[in-house]
Amino acid sequence: MGKFVVRETATGVKFDLKAGNGEVIATSEVYTTKAACLNGVESVKNNCVGEIEDQTVENFEKVKHPKFELYQDKAGEYRFRLKAKNGEVIATSEGYKTKASCENGIASVKKNAPDAEVAEAE
């Protein structure tokens, strides 16, 4: 089972969604308060049911929010960002070498986020 790990940074508070094996599968922006960060966690839990908008193909089909946007970065790596119903980015992934690995990351968020516990970083 996955878990959200909330931690303080030099500039605020952020979370990582970790899979059962401890791998980070999604990360949040930096929030100014812990309460705002916890709201972000709830938003991921509620919005991770969205469809995938594959922006790596020509003439890709636009998908309404909430959604996962799958794209390639400037380095050619595959990444995703989860957008809430209001269009705000609420979680992002690391870079993946293959599209299939990125799709597995999205599947992992969909599987792990809804029931994930919230823990403080140690």
Structural domains in the chain plus CATH codes: 3-120 (2.30.29.80)
DSSP state of 60: P
CA distance 51 to 104: 14
**Span 2-39, pLDDT tens digits:** 999 999 999 999 999 999 899 999 999 999 999 999 99
**Span 25-77, pLDDT tens digits:** 999 999 999 999 999 999 999 999 999 999 999 999 999 999 999 999 999 99
Output the six-digit token pair for 117.
Answer: 């516990």
Instruction: Return the ∠ at Cα 117 (arms to 10 and 84), rounded to 5°.
Output: 70
Residue-level pLDDT at 3: 96
For residue 118, list its beta bridge partners.
4
Phi, psi of 46 (to 5 degrees): -80, -25
pTM for the complete prediction? 0.93
